[in-house]
Amino acid sequence: MNAMRRNVLKGAGGFGALSVAVAAGLLKPTRVLADWNQSAFNATQKDAALSAIGGEGAESSDKITVKAPDIAENGAVVPVEITANLPGLESIAILSEKNTNPLVGLYKMTDTDGYLSTRIKMGATANVRAIVKAGGKTYTAAKEVKVTVGGCGG
């Protein structure tokens, strides 16, 4: 009984501190629990998005393949497969370079074989670029996809 009371008090104290941090503008409510790289996702230029994820100056690598259709008739659903054959893989980022917000997804990966498959929206014909961090270095590869009808609505 007593232990439960302690827990309740602890919980209340924790919440209080959190509320203060939120009120002080240190934390936005939606960012309290999970990381989300707001500056990178809100960037409207490829270069700004790249620098926000530390991807500028990435080295081109033939160990990365970006598989996507040559022509996407519907930009709202473009299948993309990234395979990164690099030891010490840490993360893969996917950008559609001409989208209103070029950064599409950022994936931290542990003990995978470097394969990632997803479906993205593309606003216009552009390079789909992968930025891969592995073994403390940053690598990149890209593939151009021609988009017939853009799928971002912008």
Using CB under 8 A, list all residues that contact other proteins: 29-30, 33-37, 41, 76-78, 96, 99-101, 103-113, 115-121, 151-154
Q: Nearest distance from residue 42's CB to other proteins, in Å?
A: 8
Report the amino acid identity of residue 40: A
- Comparison of 120 and 141: residue with beta carbon closer to other proteins: 120
Say if CB 138 and CB 131 are below 8 A apart. yes
Q: Nearest distance from residue 60's CB to other proteins, in Å?
A: 23
- Comparison of 58 and 106: residue with beta carbon closer to other proteins: 106
- Comparison of 122 and 141: residue with beta carbon closer to other proteins: 122
- Comparison of 9 and 135: residue with beta carbon closer to other proteins: 135
Q: Nearest distance from residue 153's CB to other proteins, in Å?
A: 3
- Comparison of 104 and 132: residue with beta carbon closer to other proteins: 104
Three-state secondary structure call for residue 17: helix
Tokens 């001409």 appear where? Answer: 98
Cα(135)–Cα(104) distance, integer angstroms:
23
Cα(88)–Cα(28) distance, integer angstroms:
33
Q: Nearest distance from residue 34's CB to other proteins, in Å?
A: 4
Q: b/e per residue, 29-68, with b = 16+ CB within 10 A?
A: eeeeeeeeeeebbebeebeebbebbebeebeebeebbbeb
Q: Nearest distance from residue 32's CB to other proteins, in Å?
A: 8
